[in-house]
Amino acid sequence: MDKLMRNKKAIILFIAPALMLFTAVLFVPVCKAIYYSFCNYKLPGHAKFFGFEDWKWLKNYKQLLTKDQTMRMAFRNSMFFMVFSIVTQLVSGLFLAALLTNIKKGRNLFKNIYYLPCVLSSAALGLLWMFVFTPRLGINQMLASLGAWGGDCTLGPQWLFNTEGYIILPIWVVSFVALWQYVGQSMMLYMAQISGISSDIYEASYIDGCSRRQSFFYITLPLIKPMVATAMSLNAIGSLKFFDLIYNMIPEGFLSHKADVIATHLYTSAFKFRKLGYGSAIGVILLILCLIMTVLINKFVKTENYDM
């Protein structure tokens, strides 16, 4: 048996396809992206290393972090998305999970309805919500037909085109749409964890005179803490990588990059303006942000595993 399981040929045969594919298509390109980010690389043309003398090799990053106005807005919007989605998903996901575990009838039905958008294409849903918030259709048209703004729908709020304020209105709108789409996932994660808590603990607490609210704060919350860390890092990374919804809800070039996020800035720099080196630098920054967030969340939301 032992000899059979140590068969070198079998081991190589089993691991090789995945290992080779993974290395060639994921690991090597990451290294290449880091290299490109130190290069002057514009299409048509080849990657040319900036050279080592007086920090020239950091030129893309210097440009990106100090001079690029769009990057500043994109970074601000991405950070806003991240904080917004971490906070709102945590609160509303927990709230929904607590409600759904406490009702008797229809739990499955509600759960499945709230989860539905998670499996739908965010490209399609982005377009759908784009129409909902278009001035002449959707919300404004319906409110106008009920008598708002004297029946003229174009006088209503410009949901996706208003560029006033520090965080502009379109970003708020997209944030809420993202919450609508993905809250089902957080809810399911918390529900899975809550249903794993033994009912003995709750019974014991009721005998001790605990109210339902107390039992939620003193039993449920501490016991689902590991899942909070998981859900938070999923949300953080997901919102940093955010592309589909914003690309489809806000037509390119309409707001002169005020509604860009890091991912859309990467896309336009690299594939519209053909600055591949510059785009790679944005990609590397995104990668670093993802790693930092994962480490931070897992460090600060300490996971103690209780016996349940």
226, 246, 290, 291, 294 from 297: Cα distances, Å: 11, 25, 11, 10, 5
Give the shortest CB-119-to-other proteins separation in angstroms: 5
Name the segment binding other proteins (CB under 8 A); options: 50-58, 62-70, 217-225, 227-235: 227-235
Give the shortest CB-18-to-other proteins separation in angstroms: 4
Q: Which residues pair with 42 in a beta bridge?
A: 275
Give the shortest CB-141-to-other proteins separation in angstroms: 5
Q: Which of 78, 89, 248, 268 binds other proteins (CB under 8 A)?
A: 248
Query: Is residue 260 within 8 Å of residue 268, measured between CB atoms?
Result: yes
Q: How far apart are CA 270 and CA 279, in angstroms?
A: 5
Identify the helix (H) or strand (E) that includes residue 62.
helix 59-62
Give the shortest CB-161-to-other proteins separation in angstroms: 11
Considering the rule CB under 8 A, would residue 99 count as an interface residue with other proteins? yes
Q: Which of 69, 108, 199, 305 binds other proteins (CB under 8 A)?
A: 108
Considering the rule CB under 8 A, would residue 101 count as an interface residue with other proteins? no
Q: Which of 230, 235, 239, 268 binds other proteins (CB under 8 A)?
A: 230
Q: Which of 83, 87, 91, 120 binds other proteins (CB under 8 A)?
A: 120
Q: Which of 247, 249, 260, 268 binds other proteins (CB under 8 A)?
A: 247
Q: Which two tokens stand for residue 242?
A: 């955010």
3-state helix vs strand vs coil in the chain, percent to 5: 75, 0, 25
Q: What type of residue is 97?
A: A
Number of residues that bind other proteins (CB under 8 A): 94
Considering only residues 54 through 93, tell me which ones interact with other proteins, judged by CB under 8 A.
Answer: none
Q: Which two tokens stand for residue 70?
A: 């769009």
173, 238, 255, 258, 298 from 168: Cα distances, Å: 9, 21, 10, 8, 31
Q: How far apart are CA 207 and CA 307, in angstroms?
A: 21
Considering only residues 261 through 300, tell me which ones interact with other proteins, judged by CB under 8 A.
Answer: 263, 266-267, 270-271, 276, 279-280, 282-284, 286-287, 290-291, 294
Considering the rule CB under 8 A, would residue 128 count as an interface residue with other proteins? yes
Give the shortest CB-42-to-other proteins separation in angstroms: 12
Q: Which of 38, 81, 84, 129 binds other proteins (CB under 8 A)?
A: 129
Q: Which of 173, 178, 236, 240 binds other proteins (CB under 8 A)?
A: 240
Query: Is residue 98 within 8 Å of residue 110, measured between CB atoms?
Result: no
Considering only residues 147 through 176, tell me which ones interact with other proteins, judged by CB under 8 A.
Answer: none
Give the shortest CB-218-to-other proteins separation in angstroms: 20
Name the segment binding other proteins (CB under 8 A); options: 70-78, 80-88, 202-210, 245-253: 245-253
Q: Which residues pair with 48 in a beta bridge?
A: 40
Considering the rule CB under 8 A, would residue 132 count as an interface residue with other proteins? yes
Q: How far apart are CA 193 and CA 93, in angstroms?
A: 12
Considering the rule CB under 8 A, would residue 207 count as an interface residue with other proteins? no
* Residue 164 Rama label (left phi>0; alpha psi -120 to 50; beta): beta
Where b means 16+ CB within 10 Å and e means fewer, 104-120 reads: eeeeeeebeebeebeee
Considering only residues 2 through 61, tell me which ones interact with other proteins, judged by CB under 8 A.
Answer: 2, 4-8, 10-11, 13-15, 17-19, 21-22, 25-30, 32-33, 36
